[in-house]
Amino acid sequence: MARILGLVAALLAILLWTFGNTIVELESYRYANSLGVCHEAGVDYAADASARAQREECLAHADTEKSPVWHLLHALGIS
């Protein structure tokens, strides 16, 4: 019984780590997008696929200067 409980706890920890990282990544992306970090004036992102791809790459790696804990709490609606 203890072995099964340990296995369940380990699986839960792995899932929480994975989903937590994904939530932080998506919230960081959303926050950078809302700040307009990677936006260039005069570019039509709907028509220019290469500009859109560059913007997506920029947003994925944008430094919002917020901690992962802040992003997680904000995504969960706590902060």
pLDDT digits (tens, 9 = 90+) for 23-69: 999 999 999 999 999 999 999 999 999 999 999 999 999 988 888 88
Run of H or E including 74: helix 68-75
For residue 65, give the 3-state DSSP assignment: coil
35 vs 75, residue with greater confidence: 35
Tell whether the model's pLDDT for residue 79 goes beyond 80: no
Instruction: Evaluate whether 61 touches 28 at the Cβ level (below 8 Å).
Output: no
Question: Residue ranges of the domains in the chain?
Answer: 19-75
Report the C-alpha gap between 37 and 28 in whole angstroms.
11
Is the overall model pTM greater than 0.95, yes or no? no
